[in-house]
Structure 1
């Protein structure tokens, strides 16, 4: 498989960063403007106990954050399209360094806002302050965990240093790490990268799958001690932050940033543990359908219904995802179509491009990074990332700049909900039993990889942070053993847990994202419940969901989801999702027999 260089990509398949800044000169000029604004806002230090001064400060701060978002987003997009481009890395570094410098200088603001005894009187004397009520209430909510003004300045200045573990991992993973070619059953070589790995595991050729699997983890194995040191550094910086801010644990510190109780995290793991037999049942069915005595980890991604495993072009994928979201109405559909066809998306893999996929919710419009591989899996990834993009678009359109960024806890709901709508659409297009089984296979894999596997990731993250809290060093041997034990529990006796899979932790970027992964599982569960309401409920259900998309961070995540129609404070959405998974296994098994 040949991987093109960045300058060989067709322009129509790349994102249009000029929509943010027309050129690098405009970007650099905006950085200068941000620096000037930051310096001007420093004049309000010690003056925020006056309502008019607070209003003036917040107006300037709002403008500053908008411009900084533009600079950080623009430079990050350029960096991710080719991580080996040193110049773009330098631009990203400049933007990040300036952001740290500015927020270090402005760290006085939260401390001084918390000292205001009667904010309600401020709203009365300066009614325009109502625009900033949600922001001010969120600042005050964290009062007991905010330090002195001097200490907050020190904490802010350390943020670049604390990002070092993730930066090192990113460079190793995206730019430096190379793999031996995978060899198929005919002796042909295939270029193996972080972008092609899963695609190779989806192939019917078992020789190719095993070769890709062994060579891929051999690459990570060659740097396993360095990667363990990176992750050890990550958990220690989380420990430092949580201790400094008077939290009982790194987990509590992380979830409180999103105004979520640690109980939601723990409840997810407990509920999955109680129902782990359903995943074991799926592994048994997969083993029987594939006619295996035991499953290897490189057998888990290959479709069990090979006859329908046909390529999906990007044009076909765009057509399908657009059809699938029509129930949202005209406004949503028109913007969605514009996004598909106006270079919001960077479509295909190239050398040095960041692996995976994401949506970046910029003010001008969202941008979507893809590594589209002409497969059903990446068609669903397109639906997923465009779900994120539309959530960002709606929140940005309907909320003030300081309220537009929805909390991470709800981030995976809109994306996964749109995957469920695509699944429903595709199943209705072809009623052939084999094709139905093929799609159900894909749907079941979403349950395995998004609910169960992400829960396993969350449990791994919880365990390693607890070890760091107890002053244990995370060596590669320790991490490998924890990860192997979790795989044995989650996948059961029908799956061989080999040495390679014990190193999978080393390639997961989300372990550097501060307890992010559990939200894939909770978001998936919420999305399954909401998608059923959208597909089988009333127009009122659709309107409630659209209101959720428009709400940004104006309420707590759990409150926003209740407004949309699902209660994540309860285990029921997770239980219902697993029950749906169980029914899909039965339906699939019935078709295959």
Structure 2
């Protein structure tokens, strides 16, 4: 049975008192920020009256945003650690409203700034040299000029932000708090309640009956609620399309990618290149069938362990392995990793009501916390190393950039995390020579590549298709979504949709479809990380130094320029082609082991 939170050791819980020592201090700060936001509304109409006003109001807006983010982190993480606690449900609702109020209070900022001519702005920089510290920030604003609306229209959109988020919020509550999964028998024959946290443990069982039972039980629930999930997803897609159209973008994708200054061609290149290499995935699926002795692979077999080796890590063992692996980055990086464990940045174990999955989070003024739902698996070791990459990226950025540039774009985020994963793979392969262990590691890498590059690109195709469908007036019913998803899954895996009927409902359980063109960045990030990991493991000190500079850069430059300085050109398909070469190289090694029968 999943434990209640108060039954878990506090040694393995994150310490959110470092943000606010008590709930009362959170509430006091919330009240103060709300009052100051009310006062900020009175600044409307004065932003570009003088250089002094532009500097003062810009710094006020950033300072209040900094405080809002800190409030949000506390409330959201308190909520995530146990989504059934009503007070933190209320806190999360309050900080969501706070974001809306902030947007409303400063809705005047961008329209008024856009009225500023380049000539007058240049004079302002002479009159007030401190403005030059915000040069890249202002440059990005000028580039959005065609997409900023009038002051009145911006106020309306800001005021509607809570409503716009209703689809995603409803999905989250439904999926994490209200949905109850049935009990299924585990490997020992014990009836265990299925959860988001333990589902993958069932799917990685060596017992095919256990896998099939958990798989069918999971999707039976999503089939039951498919119409509700279709409505929440459709609502979210409509918000994206409406907002993009209102802001004069050609599509929701263009709007989403423009935030990171990423051309849509990067997205299309990813999808096209992955589709070109689908035969490699089909080859790997066939190899899985041969190893498992199956005439026909089902979707509940794609996570089945190919290795009989018990290659597991307790959390405490994973802590040591993480420190050992990431020491390659040098003493500064390792010191921060060690602090993350000693200073309780990590919430480790699953508990009743806890948000599923894993993430790294925090704000400029907090520790870069990590949420896990730990299981003693090799996959969870990779998850820890992955989230550590995010947190180290945050730590370096916040220590080397002012608040205005103290975050990094989503496009760059997945590169730091998956570079760590690639280095862990290299480390483990370099450590072992016995065939059985190498087989297990190669299997994990290939599964990870499949799950990150192939699977996330499949998601990206689906996400773009449903946005285009809605824009074309097609109603996103569950029937439409089921058919679209089943067809894509068949194309990617080469497995018959007819013989795998449950997979058509998988779209309903993917939270990333609510993140607005996020998922493709997992795939581009993993591919770029392959190149960077090669430089770090086999390169020189300059390669490591350039990588650390990327971690420190934050948002002080455009994402593609930041990563180019680290040595990867993401406007080209070369980095993707190189990633598939690595996939094929390790697939060939696995095939040779199987051919000799040495994996048994």
TM-score, normalized by the shorter chain, greater than 0.5:
yes
Comparing 28-37 with 12-21, greater Cα deviation is found at 28-37
Is the alpha carbon distance of 1:326 and 1:494 closer, same or farther for their aligned partners in structure 2, counting shifts above 3 Å? Answer: farther
Partner residue in 2 for 1:178: 180
Quote the offset at 1:176 in angstroms: 0.7
The answer on 1:103 being equivalent to 2:111 is no
Contact 2:297/2:495 (<8 A) preserved: no
Higher mean displacement: 526-535 or 42-51: 42-51
Q: Is the 8 A contact 1:311 1:375 kept in 2?
A: yes
Alpha-carbon separation, structure 1, partners of 2:22 and 2:312 = 37
Structure 2 match to 1:521: 523
**1:37/1:60 contact within 8 Å kept:** no
CA distance in 1, matches of 2:184, 2:315: 25
Contact 2:186 2:202 in 1 (8 A): no
Q: Do structure 1's residue 318 and structure 2's residue 319 form an aligned pair?
A: yes
Q: How far off its partner does 1:424 sit?
A: 1.6
Which one is further off, 116-125 or 166-175?
A: 116-125
The corresponding residue for 1:8 is 7
User: Are residues 323 and 311 of structure 1, via their aligned partners in 2, closer, same or farther at CA, if it must alter by over 3 Å?
Assistant: same
Q: Offset at 1:494? A: 8.0
What's the counterpart of residue 252 of structure 2?
A: 250
Contact between 1:251 and 1:462, CA under 8 Å: does it hold in 2? yes
Further displaced range: 186-195 or 157-166: 186-195
1:38-437 alignment runs, 5 A limit: 38-49=37-48, 50-117=50-117, 118=119, 119-184=121-186, 187-306=189-308, 308-362=309-363, 363-437=365-439
Distance 1:172-1:179 versus aligned 2 partners, 3 A rule:
same
Deviation at 1:112, TM superposition (A): 1.0
Task: Return closer, same or farther for 1:411/1:139 CA change in 2, 3 Å cut-off.
Answer: same
Shift of 1:427: 2.0
CA contact (8 A) 1:526 1:568 kept: yes
| Maintained 8 Å contact 1:295/1:495 | no
Tell me if the contact between 1:295 and 1:496 (Cα under 8 Å) persists in the aligned partners. Answer: no
Q: Is the 8 A contact 1:413 1:527 kept in 2?
A: yes
What's the CA shift for 1:311?
2.8
Partner SS for 1:325: helix
State the 1:191 CA deviation: 1.9
Q: Distance in 1 between matches of 2:502 and 2:453?
A: 22
Count of aligned pairs: 591
- Whole-angstrom CA distance in 2 between matches of 1:17 and 1:131: 32
Aligned mates of 2:498, 2:133 — CA distance in 1: 57
Give unmatched runs, 5+ long, in structure 1: none
Contact 1:272 1:455 in 2 (8 A): yes
CA separation in 1, counterparts of 2:312 and 2:564? 39
Q: Distance in 1 between matches of 2:166 and 2:421?
A: 34
Cα distance in 2, alignment partners of residues 102 and 137 from structure 1: 22
Counterpart CA distance in 1 for 2:314 and 2:192 is 21
In the alignment, what sits opposite 2:26? Answer: 27
Cα deviation, residue 496, structure 1: 7.3
**Under a length normalisation based on structure 1, what TM-score does the superposition of the two structures give?**
0.98
- Offset at residue 365 of structure 1 (A): 1.3
1:487 to 486, 489, 493: 489
RMSD: 1.3
| Residue of structure 2 equivalent to 1:578 | 580
Deviations 1:326-381 (A, max 9, x none): 12111111011110221100001011100000000322210100001111111100
Cα shift readout 1:268-299 (whole Å, capped 9, x = no counterpart): 11111111111111111111111111111111
Q: Is the 8 A contact 1:3 1:349 kept in 2?
A: yes
Q: 1:33 to 1:584 in 2, by over 3 A?
A: same
Bigger shift: 18-27 or 30-39?
30-39
SS across alignment from 1:182: strand
Query: Distance in 2 between the 1:219 and 1:351 partners?
Result: 19
Measure the CA separation in 2 of the matches of 1:74 and 1:420: 32
Quote how far apart the aligned CAs of 1:185 are: 6.5
Q: Aligned ranges for residues 524-539 of structure 1 at < 5 Å?
A: 524-539=526-541
Change (3 A) 1:512 1:124: same
Equivalent residue runs for 1:406-485 within 5 Å: 406-485=408-487
Q: Give the Å deviation of 1:41.
A: 2.6
Gaps of 5+ in 2: none
